[in-house]
Amino acid sequence: MDHFNYKDGELYAENLKVSDLARQYGTPLYIYSKATLTRHMKAFEDALQGKKHLICYAVKANSNLTLLSLMKSLGAGFDVVSEGELRRVLKVGADPKKIIFSGVGKTREELELAVKTGIGCINIESEPEFELLSEVCRELKLEVKAALRVNPDVDAKTHPSISTGLKSNKFGLSPDAAFELYQRMAADPYVQVSGIDCHIGSQMTSGAPIAEATEKLLTLYGRLEEAEIFVDHIDIGGGLGVTYNDETPPSPYEYMAAVLKRVGERDVAIYVEPGRAMVANAGILAARVLYLKKTEAKNFCIVDTGMSDLIRPALYNSWMNIIECNKREGDKTVYDVVGPICESDDFLGKERKLNVQQGDFIAVRGAGAYGFAMASNYNARRLPCEILVDGDKVEVIRRRQEFEELWQDEALLSFD
Ligand code: LLP
């Protein structure tokens, strides 16, 4: 459940009319709901009640500083995958001990910063990464906690582009390779064994794959125990899906229950790295209808946002719900909803039934995750404005980019 609902045919973000916000702040406009985000965080907290745990919000889904600050105030830790993300969460004053660092290609500079920061855990994905981390720690004379990301070879049954736990993927180490590396790590004076980590994919709409992955991690946990190598946490990654269309993903409670049931009484904390489930449905992208264009083949609803602001439909053929901000009486027409960008793949949705007129506002639901975070300046378009609604209050949490900012980092050599 989110806080974007209709009242008398008008779409509201909490207590504010979306079309008023669109008029006031301009379009394209990302609108987030504080109550929805808060509710999602609470759902994960409730699901993990009674078990030691850390909810590390996956910053990549949406890294706006205000949203990070909100997540921090709700007790979240953070999962970061780059120096930029690490610096973002430090900027909002995150407790370093509640930050974990994932990613298959961390640089020496990134590892150095993480170690100096006193980060909670580094999720190592390969033997050479372990060796580099050990070298960095030795040079800095600092210890660090680490986990190995295990690739459990489990099919997450999701879109192939966002499936990460198959042995053909670049991520993680096989359980056998991890077992070997844990032994080296246990003997290392600086890199301390802290956890077992995995992340098998995103937008998972069933609890079965994570249950299967958990079992594989627990088998490794048992082998490590026998070898007298002890971990303090098991990190099951992110991946819980959301409803974009007619998907029926488990609730955070059901999802975590599938994990907790298997972990049982073992004395380990559970870490989880949700991104999408936390923010997707806490955000919409509002846009204005520029033109309605009828051709022999199709009806096009041309709007003022597209793949530069929201690339998921173009990149993954993702189905995202497009709705009218004010419902009109009368028949709907079938449209391809497309953007202004000069690419045929610049669409938000195909064959959607809408009753809209030129100048109306539409909203793409579920746009809070991997929306703004993947936006670009393609076609020299400015990055959109982002606002946060809290009841009947609203704050601009990122102003619309200025045109000058599009070229401010460039040199202008003259050849006249
Ligand atoms: N942890 C790790 C190590 C990850 O790689 C990811 C996402 C997450 C956590 C968070 O996963 P989530 O809870 O959001 O499913 N751009 C794609 C999604 C890419 C996900 C990449 N990794 C999309 O728009 O669908």
Write down the pLDDT at residue 162.
75
pLDDT digits (tens, 9 = 90+) for 233-289: 999 999 999 999 999 999 999 999 999 999 999 999 999 999 999 999 999 999 999
Q: Is 275 in the pocket of ligand 1 (CB under 6 A)?
A: yes
Tell which one of 166, 256, 273 to mutate to probe ligand 1, the residue whose CB is within 8 A of the most ligand atoms: 273
**pLDDT confidence bin for 160, thresholds 50/70/90:** confident
Instruction: Give yes or no: 342 in active site.
Output: yes
When mean pLDDT is compared across 158-172, 175-189, 315-329, 336-350, the lowest value belongs to: 158-172
What is the spatial distance between Cα 10 and Cα 326, in angstroms, rounded to a whole number?
5
Whether the pLDDT of residue 165 is over 80: the answer is no
Is 340 annotated to bind a ligand? Reply is no
Is 274 annotated to bind a ligand? Reply is yes
pLDDT digits (tens, 9 = 90+) for 118-144: 999 999 999 999 999 999 999 999 999
Q: Model pTM?
A: 0.97
Average pLDDT of the chain?
Answer: 97
Whether the pLDDT of residue 169 is over 90: the answer is no
pLDDT digits (tens, 9 = 90+) for 202-223: 999 999 999 999 999 999 999 9
3-state secondary structure of 3: coil
**pLDDT confidence bin for 76, thresholds 50/70/90:** very high
Q: Which residue has the tokens 């020496």?
A: 108
Write down the pLDDT at residue 161.
80
Q: Rounded to the nearest 10 degrees, how much is the dihedral formed by the CA atoms of 323, 327, 329, 332?
A: -10
Instruction: Tokens for 364, please give them.
Output: 């793409």
Q: What is the DSSP letter of 175?
A: H
| Residue 338 host element (H or E) | strand 333-338
Write down the pLDDT at residue 314.
97
> In this structure, what are the phi and psi dihedrals at residue 117, rounded to the nearest 5 degrees?
-70, -20
What is the spatial distance between Cα 285 and Cα 300, in angstroms, rounded to a whole number?
19
Neighbours of 153 (CB within 10 A): 17
Single out the residue of 43, 11, 15 nearest to residue 255, CA to CA: 43
What is the spatial distance between Cα 123 and Cα 102, in angstroms, rounded to a whole number?
5
Q: Is 276 in the pocket of ligand 1 (CB under 6 A)?
A: yes
What is the spatial distance between Cα 389 and Cα 43, in angstroms, rounded to a whole number?
20
Write down the pLDDT at residue 343.
95
Whether the pLDDT of residue 166 is over 90: the answer is no
